[in-house]
Amino acid sequence: MDFNDTPEEARFRKEARAWLEANAPKAEELEGLDGIARAKLWQKRKFDAGWACIRWPKEYGGRGASAIEQVIWNQEESKFDVPMGVFAIGQGMAAPTLMTWGNDEHKRKYLPRLASGEDIWCQLFSEPAGGSDLAALRTRSVKEGDEWVINGQKIWTSGAHYSDYGILVTRSDPNVPKHKGLTYFFLDMKSPGVEVRPIKQISGQSNFNEVYFTNVRIPDSQRLGAVGQGWQVSITTLMNERASIGGGGMGVGFDVAFKLASKLNIDDRPAIEDKAVRAKLADWYVQEAGLKYTGYRTLTALSKGETPGPENSIGKAVGAPKTQDMASFCMDLMDMAGAIDDPEIAELSGLVQASFMGSPGGRIAGGTDEIMLNILAERVLGLPQDVRVDKGIPFSEVPTGTKG
């Protein structure tokens, strides 16, 4: 065990840092660009220099780097305030699914465009009747010649409005038990018959959408896995989703809370001197450190290309509620002014309030807290599955969605 770099690792870190210092976008380069354009600029720059998706094989636009090099790169890149975000689904979820289930042509055609940031992908999984119970989804796929015809509705699709491609799970056979009748595709979001309608969130933003499919045609060559194997393919995506969402990272974390507590007073003394404040901060520090080191351990334990296991649900299960609790705590530190979210006058330009309003979504997206605990209990600890009243029954006879 050694948390220090070996000489080669130190060399790699130096190289990465030097490149980041020379190339991380300056404020003036980003001025006037929207979030997507900023992220694309940075992604393309990394890609051109061989620093994009560094663990992917070189032929697909990566660097063929080791897991440890990935840890080092993440550590170094996180020290810079660089634009990120819109590629998480494509690079973190669609790409590993393509690598596991796609053919050579799929990989050669789509992976380099994902690495370079040319294409943005979205995840068309959830439906009004299929969220936690994803396999209850109803969107129909019917084979016609070399094509599939898709009809139905997806919901909560993050980034559908700016995505180039989507990964899609459909029901190809309603007359078999629900997990057996699913088939998985990817599609061009500009296909005729795809309609995207924004949904307004409690945070006031509209990052997710409803997506309607009316006689959308997808070539059979864009199917991943066999007909009826869509559930297994989806699991690959979901495991990678939980691994990539990981420790949360977004919003209020220890550093923000620590700085705030050092700056604001309680009874004329810095809040950080208050023992109760210290105790809470310590617990969050411990959780963040635990997630970080657990992440290092799992990342290095995985050999290249392997699907991350169910134990990755820890990151979400801890990170998402922590962000919410920390945002709430930081608003308490501001006392009466904690309610102000006007970026012009709010402490930290309203970051904490925004995090408070965004954090409930983190506990739901990518599998809810409760589902993460079920996964850990069943798939890691080996406890029995919940009693299932829908087992072995054809999907068409199972009650789904919202009643009454």
Ligand X SMILES: Cc1cc2nc3c(=O)[nH]c(=O)nc-3n(C[C@H](O)[C@H](O)[C@H](O)COP(=O)(O)OP(=O)(O)OC[C@H]3O[C@@H](n4cnc5c(N)ncnc54)[C@H](O)[C@@H]3O)c2cc1C
Q: Which residues contact ligand X by CB under 6 A?
A: 122-123, 125-126, 131-132, 156-158, 208, 361, 364-368, 370-371, 374, 386
Shortest Å, Cβ 350 to another protein: 25
**Burial of 274 per CB tally in 10 Å (0-12, 13-18, 19+):** middle
Rounded Cα–Cα distance for residues 206 and 197 (Å): 10
196 phi and psi, to 5 degrees? Answer: -110, 125
Whose Cβ is closer to ligand X: residue 201's or residue 222's? 201
Rounded Cα–Cα distance for residues 81 and 183 (Å): 40
> Which one of ligand X, another protein, none is in contact with 235 (Cβ closer than 5 to 8 A by kind)?
none
Whose Cβ is closer to ligand X: residue 340's or residue 365's? 365
**Ramachandran quadrant class, 357 (left: phi over 0; alpha: psi -120 to 50; beta: rest):** alpha
DSSP 380: I
Residue 42: other Cβ atoms inside 10 A: 23
> Which one of ligand X, another protein, none is in contact with 4 (Cβ closer than 5 to 8 A by kind)?
another protein
Shortest Å, Cβ 264 to another protein: 15
Whether residue 90 contacts residue 121, with contact meaning beta carbons closer than 8 Å, is answered with: yes
Helix (H) or strand (E) holding 243: helix 230-245
Shortest Å, Cβ 275 to another protein: 6
Shortest Å, Cβ 167 to ligand X: 9
Shortest Å, Cβ 101 to ligand X: 18
Which tokens go with 378? 């069943």
Whose Cβ is closer to another protein: residue 23's or residue 294's? 294
> Which one of another protein, ligand X, none is in contact with 208 (Cβ closer than 5 to 8 A by kind)?
ligand X
**Burial of 1 per CB tally in 10 Å (0-12, 13-18, 19+):** exposed
Rounded Cα–Cα distance for residues 127 and 125 (Å): 7
Whose Cβ is closer to ligand X: residue 332's or residue 370's? 370
> Which one of another protein, ligand X, none is in contact with 198 (Cβ closer than 5 to 8 A by kind)?
none
Whose Cβ is closer to another protein: residue 314's or residue 352's? 314
Contact footprint for another protein (CB under 8 A): 1-6, 9, 68, 71-72, 258, 272, 275, 278-279, 281-283, 285-287, 289-294, 296-297, 300-301, 311, 314, 317-318, 370, 372-374, 376-378, 380-387
Shortest Å, Cβ 239 to another protein: 17
Shortest Å, Cβ 370 to another protein: 7
User: What DSSP assignment string belongs to 390-402?
Assistant: TTTSBGGGS--S-
Whose Cβ is closer to another protein: residue 29's or residue 255's? 255
DSSP 87: T
Looking only at the bridges linking them, the beta strands covering 165-171 and 121-124 are parallel
Rounded Cα–Cα distance for residues 362 and 385 (Å): 25
Rounded Cα–Cα distance for residues 88 and 102 (Å): 19
> Which one of another protein, ligand X, none is in contact with 194 (Cβ closer than 5 to 8 A by kind)?
none
Closest residue to ligand X: CB criterion: 131
Whose Cβ is closer to ligand X: residue 250's or residue 340's? 250
> Which one of another protein, ligand X, none is in contact with 131 (Cβ closer than 5 to 8 A by kind)?
ligand X
